[in-house]
Amino acid sequence: MATAVEQLEQGKKRLESLTVRRQHAQVQLEAGRQQLADAQREAMERYGTADLAELKRILARQEADNERALGEFQTSVAEFEGFISKIEAALADPVAMASLLASMPEQAAPVSPAEAAPAPAFSSEDI
């Protein structure tokens, strides 16, 4: 059995260890509080709110918008791929090329720079 002095020494060591642990926990707690404040400030700047439920709704809307945009992009790429395949096939077959060109919309004739916009008129008051 330990003497009273030995028990006192063991208690002091435990107290010192607990004090170090408490200080470490306080540092971590303060860092966490600072991170929370920074995140709330950033949320207010970016989204106009720091309310977690509202931020979750914003995130859900953005994810849905991203999914829609991704779908549109994939559709556009598939359409472009199909168009390129038609061009490649038409390059090998003059009849197919004529058919492809006939199916494309007419393009307006190019406009010369002089016809595009009249030259600005200047007066002596402009100087």
Q: Are 91 and 97 in contact (CB under 8 A)?
A: yes
pTM, to two decimals: 0.55
pLDDT for 106 equals 74
Count of other CB atoms within 10 angstroms of residue 109: 6
Q: Per-residue pLDDT tens, the chain, 127 aa: give them.
A: 789 999 999 999 999 999 999 999 999 999 999 999 999 999 999 999 999 999 999 999 999 999 999 999 999 999 999 989 988 888 888 888 888 888 888 765 555 555 555 555 656 665 5
Closest CA to 87 of 70, 112, 104: 104
The DSSP output letter for 93 is: -
pLDDT at 12: 96
Structure tokens at 17: 């260890």
Residue 30 confidence (pLDDT): 98
Q: How many CB atoms lie within 10 A of CB 89?
A: 12
- What b/e string do you get for 43-80 counting C-beta neighbours within 10 Å, with b at 16 or more? beeeeeebeeeebeebeeeeeeeeeeeeeeeeeeeeee
- Within a 10 A sphere around the Cβ of 8, how many other Cβ atoms? 11
> Quick one: pLDDT at residue 94?
83
